[in-house]
Amino acid sequence: MGMTVAEKILARNGGLKKVSPGDVVTVEVAAVILIDNNFQANVRVDILKMRDPSRVIVAFDHRVPAGNQQSAAAHVAGRELVKKFGIKRFHDVGPNQGIAHQLIADHGYALPGTVLLCSDSHTCSAGVFNCVARGVGGPDVVYAAIKGETWFRVGETIRYNIEGKLATAVTMKDVFLDMAGRYGDHATLNVEFGGSGVAGLSMDARKTLTTMAAEISAEFATFEPDDVMLDWVRKRNPTPFEAVYPDKDANYKEVRKLNLSAVAPMVALPDSIIGNVRPVADAVGTTINQAFVGSCANGTLEDLTLVAKVLEGHKVSPNVRFLVTPGSNNIYREALRTGIIQKLADAGAMVTPSTCGACGGGHMGVVGPGETCITATTRNFKGRMGDPTARIFMGSPATIAASAITGVITDPREFIK
């Protein structure tokens, strides 16, 4: 039996001919990303040695610019580490700031066929670049920064063949929600994406899918390579790499179809995605206090452009706080250049600096007791965006924008025909 993309990447970087589900393998890590949260006083450790600082990237993202003294102190500690080891790829507060997973895309930090680590659970995002990428928590990311290696247990893989084309007003967020609703969680399993429908999807759209894979608890979410992806990386990173294709006789636990054409706008009801996905119609009419588009899943230029399109000729409801947070300052500047930010601001949205911000409920745009928010981010657990009595619905950026206009959860097809 042949190997899946994830198995081949693990084998290659573990110096093995073959790996199989159940094996525990030690692999070389090509890129390790430390984020500002890793430097908070209650988790920080003082790193004294690093095998290869050129593999390490430092990106401040969760609490940027610092909103309190603790976060400011974390940033100071992070800067000290950068200086001590001469780390070149550093994204401080400023023009190069952004959410780590978005910066990986912006700068081509994830090289196809390699292993990438960060503590953060949405690191699976980088799997869109044909990487084995995973969030591993604080201690493992420290270990990998020091030693340049980590361990993984090899899981079985479910292959998804993407077919068809997205309907108007439908995005990959809806496709993900639909998939999560249909198949539930994928704990201990890898997911692999390929198929004839991939060619029609932008990198931004594909990345929504791999980023959201954290919400189905997948180990790795990898895309099969194609020219669109390979060109994207080559344009941004001169380092040579060798992409990985699945073997023809790869051993999948199951092969499933994702038919893009059949997906309609979906939402997740408050407190979880798993077991909680519905057609948008089931939530339509629910009054909202806050709407948010941003995060490592939906802060791309494509997302912001879609929001501007929905808002065209409309104003944000006076009863709604509509926050839009670009995933990185690259995106922010590009959206300024193309006039998107002007349109968002004119319609009444608040465009914030790029950061995780309201997504994590710990920095800005925090929701209060009893409030209702609809969000195009990654996670809607109880208390995720602030007070645990707040209700958090999740949908696509188009659904969020449409809801921001009307003040109640709204089917985006009312605004984009």
Partner 1 sequence: MKYTARVWKFGDNINTDLILPILAFYLTPQEQTKFVFKANRPGWVELVQPGDIIVGGNNFGTGSSRPAARSLKNLGLGCMVANSINGLFFRNCVNFAFPAMECPGVFDGFNEGDVAEIDFDAATVKNTTQNKTLPGIALPPKLLELLKAGGIYPLLEKEGSIAPRK
Q: Which residues contribute to the site for ligand SF4 (CB under 6 A)? A: 62, 99, 101, 120, 122, 295-296, 356, 359-360, 377-378
How would you classify the pairing of strands 266-268 and 277-279?
antiparallel
Question: What does the DSSP assignment read for 257-273?
Answer: EEEGGG---EEE-TB-S
Instruction: Name which of partner 1, ligand SF4, none residue 89 binds, using a CB cut-off of 5 to 8 Å depending on partner kind.
Output: none
Candidate segments 114-122, 231-239, 242-250, 340-348, binder of partner 1 by CB under 8 A: 114-122
Instruction: Name which of ligand SF4, partner 1, none residue 295 binds, using a CB cut-off of 5 to 8 Å depending on partner kind.
Output: ligand SF4
Long-range contact list for 7-13, CB < 8 A, 24+ apart? 7/154, 7/157, 7/250, 8/244, 8/246, 8/247, 9/113, 9/114, 9/115, 9/130, 9/131, 9/132, 9/222, 9/244, 10/115, 10/132, 10/152, 10/154, 12/113, 12/244, 13/114, 13/115, 13/132
Instruction: Name which of ligand SF4, partner 1, none residue 230 binds, using a CB cut-off of 5 to 8 Å depending on partner kind.
Output: none
Residue 24 beta carbon to ligand SF4: minimum distance, rounded to whole angstroms? 27
Candidate segments 84-92, 293-301, 308-316, 360-368, binder of partner 1 by CB under 8 A: 360-368
Instruction: Name which of partner 1, ligand SF4, none residue 168 binds, using a CB cut-off of 5 to 8 Å depending on partner kind.
Output: none
Closest to ligand SF4 by CB, 56 or 356: 356
Of positions 79, 253, 309, 382, contacts partner 1 by CB under 8 A: 382
Site string for partner 1, 162-181 (x = CB under 8 A): --------------------
Structure-block tokens of residue 319 = 């009863």
The type of residue at 369 is P
CA distance 27 to 38: 22
Best CA proximity match to 143, nearest among 13, 39, 51, 37:
51
CA distance 239 to 234: 8
Of positions 188, 261, 287, 319, contacts partner 1 by CB under 8 A: 188
Of positions 8, 91, 107, 134, contacts partner 1 by CB under 8 A: 134
Question: What backbone torsions phi and psi does residue 212 show, to the nearest 5 degrees?
Answer: -70, -15
The type of residue at 213 is A
Instruction: Name which of partner 1, ligand SF4, none residue 99 binds, using a CB cut-off of 5 to 8 Å depending on partner kind.
Output: ligand SF4
CA distance 220 to 203: 18
369 touches partner 1 by CB under 8 A? no
Return residues touching partner 1 (CB under 8 A): 24, 40, 42-43, 45-49, 68, 70, 119-121, 134-140, 142-143, 146-147, 151, 153, 155, 185, 187-188, 217, 219, 272, 274, 360-362, 379, 381-384, 386, 388
